Structures are given as C-alpha cells and as structure tokens.
Structure 1
Amino acid sequence: MTEAYGQRLGERFRVETAPAMVTRACRKGEMAVTELRCDNPPSEMSASIRQEDAFLLTLHLRDVPGRVYCEGGRRAPVCDVRAGETCLQDLKRDPTVLLDKPYHSLVFYLPRAVLDAIADEANSPRIRDLSYKPGAGVNDATISSLGRLLLPALGQPDQANRLFLDHVLLAFGVHVAQTYGGMRPVSRLRQSGLAPWRERRAKEILRANLEGGVSVKDLARECGLSTAHFARAFRVSVGVTPHNWLVEQRIELSKKKLRDDRLPLADVAAECGFSDQSHFSRHFSRIVGASPGAWRQAAKE
C-alpha cells in the first residue's frame, strides 16, 4: 500500500490529521489529494516515503521562507516558496523536507500508471519524466485554482461530490502531463462525441443520481468506454462536463419545486441533491442570475 497520501503521508510529515480524497476514475491507478497543516512543526526532516514510480505535487497555501529540501540525501539549493506556488517531487528519488516552519499545503499524488493512461488516451508518446527544479516552487495558476476548488470538499468529505472530485483530479492529471511532461494536446481526430445511445444512457444515470453518488468511472463503464474518453466525449456532445450537467438538472428540478410557496428553501435544496441551502443558492444564482427567493417571487408575478 502506498504511503503517499492520507494518514500514512501525514505521519511522515508529523501531523495527526491528514484529510484526503481519492479518485479511481482512471482504470490504471488512483489519484489523491491530501491536506497537510502544522502550526508547530518539530524542526526535523520529514520521514522518507517508500519509493514508487509516482510523483507528488505540493501546492503551498502559506509562505515557506528558506525551505530546505533534499533528494536522495542531497540538499537542493534553499528556496523561498510563496503561497500559491507548487513544488514537484519524484518518489523514486526519496524526497524529504525540513519541517522547521509552520506550513499548510495540498499534496497531489500522481502515479506513473495514471500518466501512462492519460498519454495513451491522448494518442501521445508516454511521458518519461516530469520537468522540475528540485526544491523550487513554480507559480502554476491552474494547479492553484484546482487546489482551492478542492479545499471545501476536504473540509467536509461526507458532502463531497464524486463527479466533481473525478473531474478536478482528471483535469489536474492532464494539466501536469502537458505542462511538465511535454504531452502533446489531444489529437483532433479523437474529439468525437458520444454515440446517441451512450449520451442517453449517461443522462439517464445522472438524472437517477441527482445527489451525485455516481462517479465518472461508473458512467464510463455503463457506456463501455475508458473514463478519460467518456469524460472528453461527453463534453463534446453536451457542451459541459458531467458534473456541470448534473448541477444544471438539479437547478431545473428546483425551479419546479420553488413554485410551491409552502416548501422552504432548505427543503428544496435537500430534495434537489444540494448539500445545504447555501450550496443551492450559490449554484442557482450563478446559473439563473437571481437568488432562489428572488426567482420564486418573480415566478408568482
């Protein structure tokens, strides 16, 4: 079993709690993200992580001045890492870091098998290594944005939407493969959409699981496709990701329920698969352009 995410990773960084989320959307392996936070570090090196053919990408959420980083027991040049920057580590090279300053970070786990699957789906040569400077942080706005999208889910994992997690981590994997692995963009020849029966079947499953309990992997299996191929083809056919289409269906259902004045907004949110009223209001306002209460009032006029 890997030591590169969750509580096993937390133990190597001397933290008692290490919330993590894992996706198995790729048939060849699993990706994960772990939140590590420590306000009183022990002023010692992190423990070694069992070597494997995988990478860790650490998104720093607070500044780490004078970060001391080692690979294979050799110290890299000391670097100041700023909040929002990402550091890459190859788990074949025994990465360790001096835990002498408070830190808060998200650590993404990306195994070689997933990178291979991403390259295969893109009809691209497999990636040999990721390009990075040991110990140095890079200002990667895409990783920073994706990481911040995941923070609320890590805080409330019981309310996390599996489709959303699959979508974000798959997007992360493709971005890393292209940006640090040199993978060519997906060939236009592979940009076809879903066959009509596959699109109908996927939408049927999504409508039957408005609470979000179905994963992209489940949908792909029902359609007889790989996860990455399905996710890409669904977007080509429908214009949005499976998760965003699911949210749109929830909003359409909520409009029908809002016409009943006796139904409180919190009940509408629950019956339409939203985690709470705030979650419902945020998505409703974004998609419709008005709050649920304002839309309800206007619908009566």
Structure 2
Amino acid sequence: MPSNAMNGQKPLGDGINSGAVGQRLGDLFKIDHAPALVTRRLSVAHMAVTEIRSDNPVLGPIEPVPIEDAYLVSLMLKSLDHHEVWESGRPCPRHSISAGEFHLRDLKIEQSALVEQPHHSLQFYLPRAALNEIADENEARPIGELAYQPGVPFSDPIVRSLGLCLRNLFERPQEANRLFLDHVTFALGTHLAQTYGDLEPSSKLLRGGLSGWQERRAREYLSANLCGKGSLKEIAAQCGLSIGHFSRSFKETIGIAPHQWLIQRRIEVAKAFLKVPSTSLAEVALKCGFADQSHFTRVFTRIVGISPGAWRRNCDIRDSVARH
C-alpha cells in the first residue's frame, strides 16, 4: 500500500462542517456525494457522522486517511464478505464484517483499506477534543486510548441501535432535530469511551432535578426554539449547568429527554393552531417547527393517533355539538 505522506490531504476534522466531512470521506471512498451531520453539543469539539454508500466496488485501494488525533467508527449497514485493511502499511488479519458490526480505527496511525464490494456504512468521526470533553462532563480523568484489534470487527448492540437512530436522519435531513442529534452522538461517544476506553464517571457527579427557575427557563427556551435549532449547550448555559448535569436533571425532573419534550411541545402548539380554521396545515407545520406538512402529519399521527386533518374535524364536530 502507498505510504501516507499526507498526500496533500487535510485532516477530516479540519475546519469541520457537514460539507467538509462528507466531501473528504467521499473523496477517500471515491464517491461523489457523502451526506454528513455534525453535532454542536460540545463547546469546542465536534463529532460528525457521514453516510457512505456506493453500489459499485471501489476501484483500487482507498487512499490513506490523513493522520490526526481522532478515531473513526465504521458501522456497517451492508455486510462485507471480503475487504483488506492496513495499519502503518502492514496488512491486518482479514475478517468478514456483518451488517450492524463496526470497525474502530485510530487516525493517529496510518490507515488504508481495499473494499471490492458494494459498500454502505455510517462513519462516526470522534476527535480527541470530544473525548476530553466527555471526560470533563463525567468529572473523570482524561481518557486514554480506545482498545481495538486492527481489522477485527465489534458486535455491539448499543452502537448498532444508536447508529440506526441516526441512519433515519439521512433519509430526511431537513427534518433532523438538532437536540436529538446532539443527544445520540454524545451518548455514542460516552459509550465508546466507557466500553473501549478507560472512562470512569466520578461517583461525585451531581444528582437531583432542576430547580423551579431552571425548569421554567428550560421550558421557555425550548418553546421559543420550536424549530429545534438550539443546542443542549445553549440550554444548559441558560440554566447555569454543565451539559451532562442539565441532561440528567431535566430527565429526572420532567421524565423525558429535552428533544422528546420539544416534540411534545410542538404537538401542543400545533393543536392550538388547528383550532383556528383559517390556518392551513402547511402554515401550522411551519409555525411549529416542522420541516413541511408531510413531516408534521407523520409526527402528529404517530403521537396523537390520528392525522392533523382528522383531529381538526373532530374538534369542529365537538364544537358544533357543544353549541347546540
């Protein structure tokens, strides 16, 4: 395999944004379009997930990944019977990898691969800065290295389920809930740090729910940002808490995670608008933070049990009966 003298490539996380990550991984896998989602949960670090899909075998070896202090988690959505992996120019043991399994790669070490089959995976970019912040959130000492055997896949139901949660976001990226993306990617990073690293959360982590003013402030912030563009970092700052403490306290006080409360609040507000006959379903959708009427209808039907139109008609019938 060719030696990686950086080949003029920038690190995956250089100037990180969804377009940059997707483009750089797409270039490595020789595909034109690799959509990516970037979390904004952390204060200085960003984690990212990119969908890589090619229905044709990659022609020739994948270019060596630029060296940087980060990890790449490759969750397979399609099984691979044959592929080859090199670390520092040395071949790794060959293993097939089934859909739902993943490879872990340390990007401080030169990495390259040969994939001779159609390929479909999610690539999670986890920089050292993100691991450091995960340790800080858990009041733990800095995390060392994540343990893995080159070329040997892992089967981990938690990684698989978290990854599949995010897979759905790529089908309708305009509907992505930023709080949900932040929540899932941070949960994934924490799980990897605990299971494959040496993260040991402090036994002195603050417990307890939100105070009255903190709960009010959190509800106000979420209600004012129904579009879901706000981040957990911003809400936690409004309450004077760290991100981890806020997330734990919010769920303890209210019983559900912030992103779940946001969806419920959207539905409550939507019901109020539906009682105004002059407001169209498309207008209700946009006023309540949904991507479009189709998105609104799917979420409303899933939670309420009937479509927004049917719910509105039922309200009209009840109001008519009450008047008579």
Query: When the two structures are superposed, what TM-score results if normalisation uses the length of structure 2?
Result: 0.84
Within a 5 Å distance, the mapping from 1:131-210 to structure 2 comes to: 131-184=147-200, 187=203, 189-210=205-226
* CA–CA distance in structure 2, aligned partners of residues 251 and 90 of structure 1: 43
Please tell me whether residue 2 in structure 1 is matched to residue 11 in structure 2.
yes
1:97 is paired with a residue of what secondary structure? strand
Which AA in structure 2 matches 1:2? P
Distance 1:57 1:149 in 2: 15
Q: Which segments of 5 or more consecutive residues in structure 1 lack a partner in the other structure?
A: none
Other structure's SS at 1:249 match:
helix
What's the CA shift string for 1:26-75, capped at 9, x where partnerless?
12411001111122233322112221221100111111112211111111
Greater shift, 137-146 or 148-157, is seen at 148-157
Counterpart residue type for residue 84 of structure 2: V
Q: How many residues were matched structurally? A: 301
Q: Does 1:59 align with 2:69?
A: no
Task: Indicate how the Cα distance of structure 1 residues 207 and 113 shifts in structure 2: closer, same or farther if over 3 A, else same.
Answer: same
8 Å contact from structure 1 (residues 191, 236) kept in 2: no
1:269 aligned partner: 285
CA–CA separation in structure 1 for the residues paired with 2:209 and 2:302: 27
Which of these two proteins has the greater Rg computed from alpha carbons? 2
Supply the distance in 1 between the matched residues of 2:227 and 2:293 (Cα, whole angstroms): 14
1:70-127 per-residue CA deviation (whole Å, 9 max, x = no partner) reads: 1111111111111111111110111211032110111001112211221222123332
Moved more, 99-108 or 138-147: 138-147
1:30 to 2:46 alignment? yes
Distance 1:160 1:190 in 2: 31
Which segments of 5 or more consecutive residues in structure 2 lack a partner in the other structure?
A: 1-9, 14-20, 319-324
The Cα RMSD (Å) is 2.2
Match of 1:120 in 2: 136
- Residue equivalent to 2:89: 73
Change (3 A) 1:196 1:186: farther
Give the match for residue 234 of structure 1.
250
- Kindly indicate whether the alpha-carbon contact (under 8 Å) linking 2:138 and 2:205 is maintained by their aligned counterparts in 1: no
Distance in 2 (alpha carbons) for counterparts of 1:296 and 1:157? 28
Q: Secondary structure at the match of 1:68?
A: strand
CA offset at residue 186 of structure 1? 6.2
**What's the offset of the Cα at 1:241?**
1.6
Map residues 87-126 of structure 1 onto 2, 5 A cutoff. 87-126=103-142
Letter in 2 for 1:109: Y
Give yes or no for the alignment of 1:11 onto 2:27.
Answer: yes
- State the distance in 1 between where 2:268 and 2:204 align: 33
Rounded Cα–Cα distance in structure 2 between residues aligned with 1:261 and 1:141: 47
Kindly indicate whether the alpha-carbon contact (under 8 Å) linking 1:281 and 1:291 is maintained by their aligned counterparts in 2. yes
Q: Which residues in structure 2 correspond to 1:39-58 (within 5 Å)?
A: 39-58=55-74
Taking structure 1 as the reference length, the TM-score comes to 0.90
1:245-283 CA-to-partner distances (Å, cap 9, x unmatched) read 111111111122223345443332222111233322333
